[in-house]
Amino acid sequence: MRPRTAALCLALSTSLTLLAGCASQASKTNTAAAAAAAAAEPAAPPTVPEIAPGIPAGYLHKDQYLDSLALLPAPPAKGSAAFAHDQAVREEAITLRGTPRWQQAISDADLHFPHAAGTFECALGIPVSQQATPRLYMLLQRSMVDAGLSTYGAKNKYNRTRPFVLAKEASCTPDEEAALRKDGSYPSGHTTIGWAWALILTELAPDRTNAILARGRSFGESRLVCNVHWQSDILEGRFIGAGAVARLRADPTFAADMAAAKAEIASARSQGLVPDRDCAAEATALQRKLERVL
């Protein structure tokens, strides 16, 4: 394992970099056992091997990840119309520095669990935690690994320079900048994960589709506000996220966890459980839109 990624496997502290170094350690759980566990006791997550402390393996084998390098075009070249648009969006996004939208982007940058599990709480209208929804919590953790690792073919090939580096400016997560400088920005891993989560959750709570998709979009756009990704990184991140979910749908263990998670959502609603996050503050922050964004 490369030194750069070995340390990051120990904690989910700097974007998606850890996932690339952890990929070879991931393994699948026994499909039949997981399906039986889902049918017998939906509230009890099955035991899943970890690729690092607190980070369960994804559903897929390494050879089942999307080939982002084959699927995506090269990132926009400097001097192109597409890159000019990337720059225009960046210039607009940095005007939000210090606003509530900037603070929301800082929160969205944190992919540690349990924090990240609550990303869609307000959109779903229920709390998402190991206590309230353990199977949904595990589903989000495992799908994060599969979606995030699908970006690294293109990330490693192009090693695209991030906007805060090119512009010699600060990002919203200064503690992560050293690692981000070494990690290619194309496509956006956070966006890939957020859009995958959004598509998964619309299947689990179709009556909340509009709110969930809007939150998935804003989660990716937070990377623009943070000054760590270009607009084109975000667009292709959504594409890879959608592809990752399409692949996951063919996995029977994933299907079993989806069924268990759907039951948990129904149970949480029947109990009248409400989100732990400040949904009013989140809604206020997300009212700020980027006019040039695609």
CA–CA dist 249, 258 (Å, integer): 9
Q: Which of 86, 223, 251, 257 is catalytic?
A: 223
Q: Which of 108, 233, 251, 257 is catalytic?
A: 233
Amino acid letter for position 47:
T
Contacts of 147 (CB under 8 A, 6+ apart): 192, 193, 196, 197, 240, 241, 244, 245
> How many CB atoms lie under 10 A from the CB of residue 43?
12
Amino acid letter for position 59:
Y
Structure tokens at 270: 């029947």
CA–CA dist 78, 196 (Å, integer): 29
CA–CA dist 4, 213 (Å, integer): 34
Instruction: Measure the CA dihedral 11/16/21/23, to 10°.
Output: 100
CA-based R_g, the chain, Å: 18
229 counts as catalytic: yes
How many residues in total does the chain contain? Answer: 294
> How many CB atoms lie under 10 A from the CB of residue 77?
8
> How many CB atoms lie under 10 A from the CB of residue 176?
19
CA–CA dist 158, 230 (Å, integer): 14
CA–CA dist 162, 70 (Å, integer): 22
Structure tokens at 220: 């990716």
223 counts as catalytic: yes
Q: Which of 135, 162, 190, 215 is catalytic?
A: 190
Q: Which of 183, 229, 251, 257 is catalytic?
A: 229
Q: Which residues are catalytic?
A: 190, 223, 229, 233
